[in-house]
Structure 1
Amino acid sequence: MHAIGIDIGGTKIAGAVVDQLGSIVASERVATPAGDSALLEDAVVQMIDSLRAGADEEIVAIGVAAAGFVDAAQSTVYYAPNIDWRNEPFREKLEARVGTAVVVDNDANAAGWAEFRFGAGRLVSDMVMLTIGTGVGGAIVAGDRLFRGGFGAGAELGHLRVVPDGLACGCGQRGCIEQYGSGRALLRMANEIADAGGIGQALARARTEHGGLDGRLVGGLIESGDDGAVAALRQLGSWLGQAAASLSAVLDPQRFVFGGGVAIAGELLLEPIRAAYRDHLPARGYHPEPDFVIAELVNDAGVVGAADLARVWVAEHA
């Protein structure tokens, strides 16, 4: 019951043969020809052919994960921000070329499903995952089923509004959690603390020495326990905790899973998330509280989740 998972990112395409237990049997990576949809399709087909040729067992399905809006039929990509896709019937095109069942899904959905099935979300039936990278991605599992919404574009959790008339977001609205709980937001907060002096002195020095702050520099200072960098992380965690409390009022998950580059901070991130969650949870004391954990599969979540979603689709439609 092996399946192939393909994770299409803005800069790279990752592919893997994945078994039914979520283990990667073989994998490949190539650069993404993001500006040319025909070349991108060719690159995916070549990767599938290569992975299939080296597989010891039959490939029962192929799953593709990509950033963007995918329809509820897991077939057409309405819109992909980093790829030249607009209403792209990618499933139909791939199936015609590879002769195997193909399923297309959002990359955050794929990563969240992988964590639910094989990682930090296993053993619960209801889970929310927030991926804290350059932006904020999300996935929802409710009653053991991945939630996509009526049109397939649900669970865009990064665009939950937390500040009325707040910071402008790339989605066209203001005050989205993506502007307060992302890696980009962490850098903004770190720069503000550096500007203020005091506990921001180490941040200010690093900024001067390197010509600016980036995730690596701020992450290193967080790891070393610098007061200013940790304060920025606590601000970020507080916003994420507030968002989690709002999500709990609607979804009532048993577990929140946090992934992405910022989640490397582990308990330093989770502690302020838990504190803010409790401060903003409706009916606190009478509402069961979920677990807050760090994702386990890291960079493999996209390909593992895409492969397993394809395997599940084939089993349900057999």
Structure 2
Amino acid sequence: MSLLGAIEAGGTKFVVAVADVADPEQVLHRESFPTEDGTRTLEKVITFFDQFTDIAAIGIAAFGPIDVKPNSPTYGYVLDTPKRGWSGFDFLGTMKAWRDIPYYWTTDVNGAGWAEYKTGAAKDVENVVYLTIGTGVGAGIITNGELLTGYSHPEAGHIMMQKHPDDVYEGLCPFHGNRCLEGLTAGPAIEARWGMSAKEIPDDHPAWQMEAFYLAQAAMTFTATLRPDMIVFGGGVPHREVLLPMVRESFAEQMNNYLAVPDLDTYIQPVKNGDNAGILGCFYLAKTLI
């Protein structure tokens, strides 16, 4: 049996898995472990994959920023990051030194977004923005069936935002404070602003209207610049079912009938693959290499 490998490389934990090439949605073996520094974490990754001799390709979806330019001298590296032991780490080179097989190297949000495009909420469209709101904020953008990559991968969590008139929070982002999407809407920003986590905040709390205002503003920006067929929200924060209906309502108010979009219940969707999105995306991206 020929296998596909998946590495979902998160800043908090790593998930590694294998699946049959013929059925990428059927996970055969899977493990997870806390993220340590690059060397120790990759040792655990390699120990897992050492069990399998017939891996045809591996998809890697890594926390960033990472170098995704194939002609760059640091292609495959994790770039400057506050995660200790990872800045300047040659992730892809370490894997190639272990076993020289094809690897698909991309960001964690691209991996999850690709899964939504292949089998999830966006499986019937060709242009999608997958936006994850969790410990951080990022976007995987697919245009005409291809992952968007220019000079580097998108860092859409750091688009500039107009402040909500009632928001006095100073923001979480160490680079942009309260001026960017991540600094205002990520899970840690919610907790710092309101003194409780997104899981703890009641449905009728004003936190949700404020969060919806910012996420709708982001959705409006992506709509105006990219004109996607769909915007899919993933990550821990949108797990709260109260949020997306408010995002749709705020989106309609802020757009003010300027641009036509599909019915908002269709246009702004929750992730369908849940916590499996990253692994599934890795499998499907790896399969493009064989």
For the aligned pair, the TM-score class normalised by the smaller chain equals 0.7 to 0.9
SS at match of 1:138: strand
How far does residue 48 in structure 1 lie from its aligned partner after superposition?
1.4
Does 125-134 or 63-72 show the bigger shift? 63-72
Q: Answer yes or no: is 1:161 the counterpart of 2:160.
A: yes
Structure 1 partner of 2:125: 124
How far does residue 249 in structure 1 lie from its aligned partner after superposition?
0.7
Alignment of 1:9-88 (within 5 A): 9-19=10-20, 21-32=23-34, 34-35=36-37, 37-50=38-51, 52=52, 58-70=54-66, 71-73=68-70, 75-88=76-89
CA RMSD of aligned residues (A): 2.4
Distance 1:11 1:177, change over 3 A: closer
Distance 1:80 1:190 in 2: 27
Distance 2:286 2:130 in 1: 20
One-letter amino acid of the structure 1 residue matched with residue 55 of structure 2: I
SS at match of 1:87: coil
Does 103-112 or 71-80 show the bigger shift? 71-80
How far does residue 28 in structure 1 lie from its aligned partner after superposition?
2.6
Q: What's the CA shift string for 1:173-230, capped at 9, x where partnerless?
A: 2411113322233334544xxxxxxxxxxxxxxxxxxxxx234322xx33xxxx22xx
Q: Is the 8 A contact 2:173 2:183 kept in 1?
A: no
Distance 2:122 2:144 in 1: 13
Distance 1:236 1:133, change over 3 A: same
Q: Is the 8 A contact 2:115 2:281 kept in 1?
A: yes
Structure 1 segments (4+ residues) deviating >6 Å: none
Q: What's the CA shift string for 1:91-133, capped at 9, x where partnerless?
A: 2221221232222211111111111111111110000011111
Q: What's the CA shift string for 1:220-264, capped at 9, x where partnerless?
A: x33xxxx22xx3212211210011101111000110101111222
How far does residue 22 in structure 1 lie from its aligned partner after superposition?
3.8
Aligned residues with identical type, % of pairs: 27
Distance 1:83 1:31, change over 3 A: farther
One-letter amino acid of the structure 2 residue matched with residue 279 of structure 1: E
Structure 1 partner of 2:260: 287
One-letter amino acid of the structure 2 residue matched with residue 217 of structure 1: E
One-letter amino acid of the structure 2 residue matched with residue 299 of structure 1: D
Q: What's the CA shift string for 1:75-101, capped at 9, x where partnerless?
A: 332234435223333222212212322
One-letter amino acid of the structure 1 residue matched with residue 97 of structure 2: A
Q: Report the structure, 1 or 2, having the larger helix content.
A: 1
Structure ID, larger Rg: 1
Distance 1:81 1:47 in 2: 26
One-letter amino acid of the structure 1 residue matched with residue 212 of structure 2: G
How far does residue 166 in structure 1 lie from its aligned partner after superposition?
8.3
Distance 1:90 1:81 in 2: 16
TM-score under structure 1 length normalisation: 0.78
Q: Is the 8 A contact 2:5 2:59 kept in 1?
A: yes
Q: Answer yes or no: is 1:265 the counterpart of 2:235.
A: no
- Pick one of 265, 277, 283 that aligns with 1:301: 277
Aligned residues: 275
Structure 2 partner of 1:252: 227
Distance 1:246 1:33 in 2: 33
How far does residue 64 in structure 1 lie from its aligned partner after superposition?
1.6
How far does residue 6 in structure 1 lie from its aligned partner after superposition?
0.8
Structure 1 partner of 2:251: 277
Structure 2 partner of 1:143: 144
TM-score under structure 2 length normalisation: 0.85
